[in-house]
Amino acid sequence: MRRVPVLPTIIVLIAVGVMIRLGLWQLDRMHEKDAMLARYAAAQASSAAVSFPKEPDEVEAALYHRSSIDCVSAASPTSRSGRNAKGDAGIAQIVTCKTATGSNVEVVLGLAQSPAIVPWRGGKVTGWIAPGPKLIADPPQAGLAASARPDPNDIPNNHLAYAVQWLFFALVALAIYAIALRKRWRER
């Protein structure tokens, strides 16, 4: 009679169960991400402007909406690579704005072709709330070219691939264990 080792079998079955659960969890995450991306797309299509979020728990609901701030003073100018709406590369000019309420807001003023910092003292800025959170100026400021609008389609939803991976790992673990059992039985 062929005996199945108890402890190794339990360990393999627990591991396979965990992998299947992780695969199902990734499917749940896929549906959550689909809903989140749909909310972002609706926000971007909406003409309603919202206040720039002041608290971390307000950021999620504000992303991809139009907003405006009054930049009382601009500090910490930097530049990073960026893109315009056509996908052409440029250098994004970024400042940290202090608002009248005392909060700091990162603002992407627009795109330049050189990394040289463009002087800008502040003022009213209207634009799109992007992850960070930051405000992408629209229209651009300081004579710069327009930056690409933040696009929720840039956020990957690869949870289906992860779910398939976990389920495949579970199958592979079962196959390897079956092969090991078969080899063990043949040796006896």
Task: Quick: pLDDT tens for 90-140.
Answer: 999 999 999 988 899 999 999 998 888 888 988 999 999 999 899 999 999
Q: Give the span between the Cα atoms of 160 and 164, in whole angstroms.
A: 6
What are the residue boundaries of the structural domains of the chain, listed by start? 6-39+159-187, 58-148
Band (pLDDT 50/70/90 cuts) for residue 1 is low
Q: Give the span between the Cα atoms of 121 and 187, in whole angstroms.
A: 81
pTM for the model? 0.78
Length of the chain: 188
Q: Give the span between the Cα atoms of 30 and 92, in whole angstroms.
A: 32
Q: Give the span between the Cα atoms of 28 and 144, in whole angstroms.
A: 43
Tally DSSP H helices, then E strands, for the chain: 3, 5
